[in-house]
Structure 1
Amino acid sequence: MSLLDRLNNDMKQAMKSKEKEKLSVLRMLKAALQNEAIKLGKSALSEDEELTVLSRELKQRKDSLHEFENAGRSDLVEKAKTEIEIVQSYMPKPLTEEELRELIAETIKEVGASSKADMGKVMSAIMPKVKGKADGSLVNQLVRQQLS
């Protein structure tokens, strides 16, 4: 089942159970996916492209959450947290820190990295492997640790 099909089914379910907040987020996700397809001139997005859109939407909501917390807007903080949970439910299962460390070690061996000067090579090789499954800043931090 494609992501759009899953979103459509979940939207119908949210309408039936009168979950306005969830329905709103699902509509935003669906619109973002459709806009990306139009922008790329395709009728349907690949899984990788869908993941890119979901990651972008998740990042926007996390950034908003951070801004709301700094501004002391507790009403909007709760709304943002709910939206983040809903978007995360469509993301792939995240890698554990241990799995991530192993993947980084393998990638360092693959590219033959030996110092922090090779950081760019390692990051460009590993990011496609962990797309949507790990936070970029955590990956960066772990790569730095292993290269030092």
Structure 2
Amino acid sequence: MTLQEQINADVISAMKAKDEVALRALRGLKSALLLAASEPGANGVVSDESALKIFMKLAKQRKESLDIFKQNNREDLAKVEQEELTIIERYLPKQMGEDEIRAILQGVVTGAGATSAADFGKVMPLAMKALAGKADGKVISEILKQLLA
């Protein structure tokens, strides 16, 4: 079952369960997938890999909104964002811990022959490819800078 089919099935079950929170989040995911499928060159189909990228982007937006709402003492809006983020994270692969990321990045740095911070631009694309969907780019960047320092 593709992610798109899974979302459609979950929308139906959320409707039946009258789960407004899940329904709102799932409709947002479905909308993002339909938008991506209607783009030129997509041929009306979104691969699971593309869907994961879309979901990661939506999760990142929710996290940023959540931080802003908490800073401005808008607990009501923060709660809504947190609930939607929880639903979105169901469809994302489990994120790696810092130690696991560091171990993989150490291998990438060694494989690329990087020795200093000047090699960051050469290593970062390789690191992002190795950890695609498994870790946040910001975390990867921070750990990579530490390793190259």
Q: TM-score, normalised by structure 1?
A: 0.94
Give distance in 1, aligned partners of 2:90 and 2:56.
12
2:73 matched residue in structure 1: 72
One-letter amino acid of the structure 2 residue matched with residue 83 of structure 1: E
Give distance in 1, aligned partners of 2:27 and 2:146.
40
One-letter amino acid of the structure 1 residue matched with residue 14 of structure 2: A
Cα deviation, 1:25-76, whole Å, max 9, x if unaligned, reads 1011011011012114322122221111111111111111111112110101
Q: TM-score, normalised by structure 2?
A: 0.94
Percent identical pairs in the alignment equals: 36
**Deviates most, 72-81 or 123-132:** 123-132
Give distance in 2, aligned partners of 1:129 and 1:55.
16
Deviation, structure 1 residue 96: 2.0
5+ long unaligned stretches in structure 2: none
1:115 matched residue in structure 2: 116
1:24 matched residue in structure 2: 24
1:1-148 to 2 correspondences below 5 Å: 1-42=1-42, 43-148=44-149
CA-based RMSD of the aligned residues comes to: 1.1
5+ long unaligned stretches in structure 1: none
- Structure 2 CA distance for partners of 1:113 and 1:40, relative to 1, 3 Å: farther
One-letter amino acid of the structure 1 residue matched with residue 15 of structure 2: M
One-letter amino acid of the structure 2 residue matched with residue 126 of structure 1: A
Give distance in 1, aligned partners of 2:67 and 2:40.
31
Deviation, structure 1 residue 22: 0.6
Q: How many residues align?
A: 148
**Deviates most, 80-89 or 34-43:** 34-43
